[in-house]
Structure 1
């Protein structure tokens, strides 16, 4: 009788953590709609419409309105759309930067599949600039402030900052897509992301 038990066999397969990927819905229709229409509006006003034209103004007001809608949705929207899920607190930023400095790119799981802290900072910066553009643009059109030259200068500063922020946002999305092996641009179209689910291999 062979008393050599399975537990003594070095080739025995033991229970070990494995990772399985599942596709889940992350970005709802409101997040995706506002994202792409805002992007289209920014592109239109930076590259195609004439400054001061009615079309330029209307596009700007639509974009500002969508930013306001997205801000409201950040409080009442779905799980990953809410600010509570991704607001860039100092603790979240510190943890994310520490991971990046150690070349540890966290894989997406159900808890961190939303915006990372740096992406959240970029979003808030873009939203602030867009609102600033809307306020200064409206103030010039309504002649609220006598010194319109100063308003125009401020408006131009906001507009010029988009030439830095927008490419940085796009390049960051491409870089993180490569690092996480996750097409983030496609995810913002379909709303879906692949997440890692840890399990035990009991076979």
Structure 2
């Protein structure tokens, strides 16, 4: 196994903090309560910090290092269809799409949630419906993300959850690798 240090502490703390905060607001806090609002603000602050880190952080954390291109996405889909094991050092192209999706939807949830606390949008139906639809989309995305991580961990024999805890990817010697 090749051991490659890939995820810096900021990325790992961000990831698991976002998991905890989103789960808290989706599953445990009262949507009408102040705690729900504060956790929502924390989610937006986390995403804002991650966006900044995407430009100034460590190389694997920078958006420029994992911008998904159509050929890269097609390549990953081909690998999946043909059973070719190619481990990516950082995010896979499909994983990158999910990251951008989740960052955007978290900000949109935060924006509509904030709008619902203002006088201008208090009780406005489309804002509440949009907020709820975005939360549903985020929940679907999270389930798809977890399923994909499990599948890709099995398919590539790289324990992706462990890498997001330790910061180190252990890649089998026989797995072709891509940056």
TM-score, structure 2 normalization: 0.91
In 2, the alpha carbon distance for the partners of 1:137 and 1:163 equals: 16
**Which of 110, 115, 127 is the equivalent residue of 2:103?**
127
Task: Tell me the CA shift for residue 131 of structure 1.
Answer: 0.5
**Which of 145, 162, 166 is the equivalent residue of 1:190?**
166
Q: SS at the partner of 1:51?
A: coil
Matched, 1:28 2:28: no
1:174 is matched with: 150
In 2, the alpha carbon distance for the partners of 1:55 and 1:86 equals: 35
In 2, the alpha carbon distance for the partners of 1:104 and 1:145 equals: 51
Matched, 1:117 2:93: yes
In 1, the alpha carbon distance for the partners of 2:54 and 2:158 equals: 24
Task: Tell me the CA shift for residue 22 of structure 1.
Answer: 2.3
TM-score, structure 1 normalization: 0.81
User: Which of structures 1 and 2 has the bigger CA Rg?
Assistant: 1
CA shift digits 1:157-183 (9 cap, x unpaired): 011112211111111111111111111
Higher RCO, 1 vs 2 (CA within 8 Å, ≥6 residues apart)? 1
**Which of 36, 52, 57 is the equivalent residue of 1:77?**
57
Q: SS at the partner of 1:178?
A: helix
1:37 is matched with: 17
Assess if the C-alpha contact under 8 Å between 2:116 and 2:123 holds in 1.
no
Paired residue total:
174
In 1, the alpha carbon distance for the partners of 2:81 and 2:165 equals: 30
CA RMSD, Structure 1 to Structure 2 (Å):
1.6
In 2, the alpha carbon distance for the partners of 1:144 and 1:135 equals: 13
- Greater shift after overlay, 137-146 or 116-125? 137-146
Assess if the C-alpha contact under 8 Å between 2:54 and 2:61 holds in 1.
yes
List 4+ stretches of structure 1 deviating above 4 A: none
1:7 is matched with: none
More helix by percentage: 2
Matched, 1:152 2:128: yes
Q: Give unmatched runs, 5+ long, in structure 2.
A: 175-179
CA shift digits 1:113-152 (9 cap, x unpaired): 1000111111111111110111011111022336621100
In 2, the alpha carbon distance for the partners of 1:143 and 1:88 equals: 40
